[in-house]
Structure 1
């Protein structure tokens, strides 16, 4: 007897101290305290083969059901190792059951679940709660409970959902009892559906690799891909630079871009971009030829970017302070033919070009001074034509070039214009370094609606008080920062409260935006919206916008 107790104790100690907690997603927009039930019948053409499979493997049907449950929990949590409560056959308090979805096939997953359940039941009489208290474990061990016998019962305080199976009129019935402050009826039905789908996949192909199979129904797959998508907008049959040219014709003397004391009107910015574009064409730039732009963040930068688009080329941003080796690698991988740069930005660039004699260097001041017309060049540019290449860090640590087309860029710019409610005369702060894709929308989105771009110097950004002053003085309406910098701004505003009279919207991207920071922002600036944004360079930047006013 003593040997058994020691064995029980050792087993449960290993289970409890292994750590890991499987949380159930909070899937309801309107939490309401209470408990509800959802029932669904497992189709007979699924239940029958499952019973046959259990007999062939000499395991109880409960183990098959547990394998499906493990797969669902793994899908919900994104973890391969999951912990669920397990109700013994005679009922009673659920015991923590540690499961893994590492085994590749349904059959091996099922056998692993059977082994885990068998070990648990062999030690079920041990007072697990007493050992938890002895070990000082106060957090709940699980949120989901698996009840293979369908015993039922009330949800414990720490339980979010209880999955039970029972036989009724010779039909296998799944009953899901859940807390309505965590799940709503639709989401509960989806979780039940995942269990049925997993069981169906086991029934038709026990030797299939479950990692290659999804649990979503056709209806939910459509909802995930289409129902959650943003508005479908008809894009104008023009490119970004052509829409800018239209704004130039409508208000040529409005201010387009500001940097320090320098201010360029739409007419001035367009004329300079046109002269640069013609300088590139005169040097043989062809359709989708790659042009690197190596400048500081000043007014020549937007002129150079527009020039590349106007000439039908591909914009490749490179920061002047990058090491020569990195610049050379980027130029080579992108197949770059020309570099637009300026005096003061060529130190490491010149070192890189020493080994790349075929790449031509064009100084912006010299190109301005050449005898080129300053009217729009009118080079045809197709929507599926390559617009830009951004080199990201890459999953392997080696930089990789992400290539995006004009239509994708325009779609993203209009998403920003719509969701951030950009309009004529409004100021967009340009804060991001050139090598980040977010720098592009910050640079040009305002130019599509008759707005103004304010280029904020890096040294100003590094001094948060100066930065807030610049936002106020520049009458910025739309700003984008990363959450860690927003945290600094909030702290500054709490210490030195002030009005931000023109700021209407702050976009936050690049990192996870936490609830606590969101609450702090609205505590100091309740009238200024936050847009939680995120996306991939490969998808033309942000693909998700959550506009929040509280």
Structure 2
């Protein structure tokens, strides 16, 4: 693993308008390349309520559907600003940035409708002509919103396409890459869209940020099913418990990843070495250290080392776009970053 010192980078004004990459969570334990599809019928009463909200607000129905999509993206990414592709036939999808600050559903809807109207008014202008700047080298979005559910094809770089089809009522169609999402998680995301529509149409004046997209079953699972039985925990930190285990069973296998494994003795020694390196580079108590690695044995070593050195751990997935990594590093005041071979290229662009 290597150590990097954070450096700032200027952002051009046009990038602020055109970027804001929103990452879809990697929700699969079996990442097999392929394309999956999931459809769910929108209840007739919800379809009618969506039309009423659009009519009452003097806005197109597509804006209501797009607002629900934005709410789902914000929940998935944990961000107040999200970016999606917007399908505009016959052109390729265009990047669209949307704001989800704590406001009422209706206020968010109006803001997104203005952004949608502006995008459609300029849909014939190539992306690389907007603002007079060259087109970005990286993809601008991972998701595509398709109000008419046209071709439904997943272009390179797109992992999720959300469309609405008129077929014996209203049908929500998701097409997704199976190396990113599995069928169960795609169904959950479809359910989030339906829930967002239900919440928005039920009370447009309610503050959207207070609304959860989780079903009662999923909420119960997260609060209770994943927690395990209640038990008393020792008054010691994670790395201290690990060190106790290392002293008691130094030659036992501590961790396995693929065909690699580390004993408690080896993992503890590697973490101690890295912790000393962090302290030598000026890590202060409770300062934040970024970790840009895959979830492997190097990642485990890094986390233990940060805890041993008294720091706080800030995880980054190597597939995160450079702009998002830079933004997170800046917000956290992070001056030290741990990475590994093969994951440093995106970090170099972020610093």
- TM normalised by structure 2 equals 0.67
User: Quick check: which has more Rg, 1 or 2?
Assistant: 1
In 2 relative to 1, CA 132–180 (structure 1 residues): closer, same or farther, beyond 3 Å?
A: farther
Q: What residue is the counterpart of 1:127 in the other structure? A: 126
Q: What residue is the counterpart of 1:84 in the other structure? A: 84
In 2 relative to 1, CA 516–96 (structure 1 residues): closer, same or farther, beyond 3 Å?
A: closer
Q: Which runs of 5+ in 2 are unaligned?
A: 1-12, 251-264, 280-286, 308-312, 314-351
Distance, in Å, in 2 between the alignment partners of 1:414 and 1:122 is: 55
Runs (4+) of structure 1 exceeding 3 A deviation are 13-19, 129-134, 407-410, 412-417, 419-427, 475-484, 486-489, 509-514, 516-521, 529-534
Q: What residue is the counterpart of 2:275 in the other structure? A: 485
Q: What residue is the counterpart of 1:146 in the other structure? A: 145
- 3-state SS of 1:422 partner: helix
Q: What residue is the counterpart of 2:5 in the other structure? A: none
Distance, in Å, in 2 between the alignment partners of 1:115 and 1:533 is: 48
Q: What residue is the counterpart of 1:185 in the other structure? A: 183
1:435-474 residue CA offsets vs partner (Å, 9 max, x unmatched): xxxxxxxxxxxxxxxxxxxxxxxxxxxxxxxxxxxxxxxx
Counterpart of 1:215 (choices 213, 216, 235) is 213
1:57-108 residue CA offsets vs partner (Å, 9 max, x unmatched): 11111100011111111111111111111112x4531111111012500001
- Residue 422 in structure 1 maps to residue 245 in structure 2: yes
Distance, in Å, in 2 between the alignment partners of 1:517 and 1:186 is: 22
Distance, in Å, in 1 between the alignment partners of 2:273 and 2:170 is: 49
Distance, in Å, in 1 between the alignment partners of 2:166 and 2:103 is: 30
How do 1:7-406 residues align onto structure 2 when only pairs under 5 Å count? Answer: 14=14, 18-88=18-88, 90-102=89-101, 104-129=103-128, 135-169=134-168, 171-229=169-227, 231-232=228-229
Q: Which runs of 5+ in 1 are unaligned?
A: 1-12, 236-406, 428-474, 490-508, 522-528, 537-541, 543-550
In 2 relative to 1, CA 483–224 (structure 1 residues): closer, same or farther, beyond 3 Å?
A: farther
In 2 relative to 1, CA 103–480 (structure 1 residues): closer, same or farther, beyond 3 Å?
A: same
In 2 relative to 1, CA 34–64 (structure 1 residues): closer, same or farther, beyond 3 Å?
A: same
Judge conservation of contact 1:91–1:151 (CA < 8 Å) in 2: no
- 3-state SS of 2:97 partner: strand
Distance, in Å, in 1 between the alignment partners of 2:114 and 2:298 is: 49
In 2 relative to 1, CA 224–151 (structure 1 residues): closer, same or farther, beyond 3 Å?
A: same
1:97-125 residue CA offsets vs partner (Å, 9 max, x unmatched): 11101250000111111111001111111
**Superposed displacement of residue 18, structure 1:** 5.0
1:138-194 residue CA offsets vs partner (Å, 9 max, x unmatched): 11111111001111331000111000012111x211001011111111111111111
Equivalent pairs counted in the alignment come to 275
Higher relative contact order structure (alpha carbons within 8 Å, sequence separation ≥ 6) = 2
Q: What residue is the counterpart of 2:332 in the other structure? A: none
Distance, in Å, in 2 between the alignment partners of 1:483 and 1:172 is: 59
Judge conservation of contact 1:426–1:476 (CA < 8 Å) in 2: no
Judge conservation of contact 1:15–1:98 (CA < 8 Å) in 2: no
Distance, in Å, in 2 between the alignment partners of 1:214 and 1:533 is: 34
Distance, in Å, in 2 between the alignment partners of 1:17 and 1:140 is: 14
**Superposed displacement of residue 228, structure 1:** 2.9
- 3-state SS of 1:174 partner: strand
Judge conservation of contact 2:246–2:268 (CA < 8 Å) in 1: no
Distance, in Å, in 1 between the alignment partners of 2:273 and 2:209 is: 34
Distance, in Å, in 2 between the alignment partners of 1:86 and 1:511 is: 36
**Superposed displacement of residue 520, structure 1:** 4.9
- TM normalised by structure 1 equals 0.44
- 3-state SS of 1:221 partner: helix
**Superposed displacement of residue 20, structure 1:** 2.1
**Superposed displacement of residue 515, structure 1:** 1.7
**Superposed displacement of residue 53, structure 1:** 1.1
Distance, in Å, in 1 between the alignment partners of 2:17 and 2:64 is: 27
Q: What residue is the counterpart of 2:293 in the other structure? A: 515
